[in-house]
Structure formats: structure tokens, C-alpha cells
Structure 1
Amino acid sequence: MPIINIQLLEGRPPEKIKALIASVTDAVASELDSPKEKIRVLVSEIPTTHWGIGGKSVSDINHQ
């Protein structure tokens, strides 16, 4: 059973996340010849305060 983990910064609309899950599922099913009902896609939305780049949080970078 393929399990795909995707981490994104928070803020995308729910319909975009649903479309991403569907697209990733289709791609994995096609490439691995795996039944879609066996594929798991986990999307974690990370707050900008919890995502760091170059020693600073994204929220701090966005407010500069």
C-alpha cells in the first residue's frame, strides 16, 4: 500500500488540497500499477510560524 506524505505551508483552499490528493493518487496508481483504493495520501499543512528558512520562520520573512 503506497503512502504519500505531502507537507505544505498552510493557506491553500480546501478544493486545491482535494485536487492535489486526486492528482497524486492518479499519478501513483498509473506509475505503480496500484489500485487507487490502496493508495493513501496525507497532506499536512504547516503554520508559517513553524516552517523555517535560513534560521527564520516564514512568517518573519513574510513580514520583512
Structure 2
Amino acid sequence: MPLIQITLVEGRDDKVVTECAKEIAQVAHTKLGAPLESIRVVVNQVPATHWIVGNQSKAERDAAKGESK
């Protein structure tokens, strides 16, 4: 039973995230030969304030980009 985990910064449309997860499950089925009903895809969405790159959150980086424009 393949378990595929996807971690994203929150903010994408739910429909887009669901479609992505379904397509990834289909690719795993096709490429690995695993029965589709045995494949699990879990999507974790993290707040931008909890996604840290270096010593800055993504929210801080996005805000800095917005201020410089």
C-alpha cells in the first residue's frame, strides 16, 4: 500500500489540491503497478507563518517582496 505525502503552503484552491492528489495516485498506480484502491495520498497544508526558509517565514518573505514592489 503506497502512502504518498504532499506538503504545501496553504492557500491553493481545494479543487486544485484534490485534482493534484488524484493525478498523483493515478501515476503511482500506473508506474508502480499498485492497485488504485490501495494507494493513499495525504495532503498537508501548512500556514505560511509555519513554513520557514532560513530564518524567515514564507509570510515574512512574501510581505518583504510586496513592500519592495
Gaps of 5+ in 1: none
Greater share of residues in helix = 2
Q: How many corresponding residue pairs?
A: 64
Taking every aligned residue pair, what percent have the same amino acid on both sides?
A: 33
* Mapped partners of 1:62, 1:24: distance in 2: 28
- The alignment's TM-score, normalised by the length of structure 1, stands at 0.96
* Mapped partners of 1:56, 1:21: distance in 2: 28
Structure 1 runs, 4 residues or longer, greater than 3 Å off: none
Larger Rg belongs to: 2
For residue 2 of structure 2, what is the aligned residue in structure 1?
Answer: 2
* Mapped partners of 1:52, 1:62: distance in 2: 12
- The alignment's TM-score, normalised by the length of structure 2, stands at 0.89
SS at match of 1:45: strand
Given the alignment of the two structures, is residue 16 of structure 1 paired with residue 16 of structure 2, yes or no?
Answer: yes
Gaps of 5+ in 2: 65-69
For residue 48 of structure 2, what is the aligned residue in structure 1?
Answer: 48
Which amino acid in the other structure matches residue 46 of structure 2?
A: I
Q: What is the alpha-carbon root mean square deviation over aligned residues?
A: 0.6
